[in-house]
Amino acid sequence: MIGVLALQGDYDKHLRTLDRVNIPAIDVRYPSQLSKIDGLIIPGGESTTMNDLMSRIDFHNHLIDFAQKKPIMGTCAGLILMSKKIKNDDKINPLGILDIEVTRNAYGRQLHSFIDKVEVVVDGSIINERVAFIRAPKISSIGKSTEVIGKHKNDIVGVKTGIHYGFAFHPELSENAYLHQYIFQGKTHYKEENNAA
């Protein structure tokens, strides 16, 4: 059973994505529910609001404990919350689950949201997809324990620290569910491309 943190933001789209590929899922609103799930998604939304709602019910410590043993995938605001340091915000208390530093709203305002192709490499498979960036953060630096798994032009947009994943874009708004299936079911879809040389 996979949980989607459902305090604020785009959680419903993640639940639908998981449902579409038959991954059993529940919305998680209380820390006590964490014991029932095998993995968690922290969705996009507004990281400041989510952080405030999390603080009210001591979610931070419970999520840090959960992450010791089970995988978490964070998308956009979720990635911000999972980071170690936020360069341009000191009101959010980041979880430090992904060893990265991020800059919020780094592409500009809502108007500068866009859809473009990214390249994500998981387990030797290359996924080339058009995805949505909505007031997305940029990953400004990564620690030694973090692997870059996604690029958009010269920007890092996907990372992995141990069993945890973070994406600056919104995979739940794509038609496919490749990243959800890879992270929570271990399924890969693409074989290595570009190996003609």
Residues that bind ligand GLN (CB under 6 A): 44-47, 76-77, 80, 104-105, 134-135
Of 14, 152, 164, 170, catalytic: 170
147 is catalytic: no
Please state, as a whole number, how many other Cβ atoms lie within 10 Å of the Cβ of residue 128.
12
SS3 sequence of 9-68: CCHHHHHHHHHHCCCCEEEECCHHHHHHCCEEEECCCCHHHHHHHHHHCCHHHHHHHHCC
Beta carbon of residue 115, minimum distance to ligand GLN (angstroms, whole number):
13
For residues 32 and 88, which CB has a smaller minimum distance to ligand GLN in the complex?
88
For residues 27 and 46, which CB has a smaller minimum distance to ligand GLN in the complex?
46
60 is catalytic: no
Of 14, 129, 164, 172, catalytic: 172
Using CA atoms, how far apart are residues 183 and 197, in angstroms rounded to an integer? 30
Of 76, 129, 152, 180, catalytic: 76
Beta carbon of residue 46, minimum distance to ligand GLN (angstroms, whole number):
5
Using CA atoms, how far apart are residues 149 and 38, in angstroms rounded to an integer? 22
For residues 13 and 187, which CB has a smaller minimum distance to ligand GLN in the complex?
13
- Cβ within 8 Å of residue 98, ≥6 positions away: 74, 79, 82, 83, 84, 146, 159, 161, 164, 166
Closest listed residue to residue 28, CA positions, set 46, 6, 9: 6
152 is catalytic: no
Beta carbon of residue 155, minimum distance to ligand GLN (angstroms, whole number):
15
Beta carbon of residue 47, minimum distance to ligand GLN (angstroms, whole number):
3
| DSSP-based three-state secondary structure for 178 | helix
For residues 131 and 177, which CB has a smaller minimum distance to ligand GLN in the complex?
131
Q: Any idea which residues carry the catalytic annotation?
A: 76, 170, 172
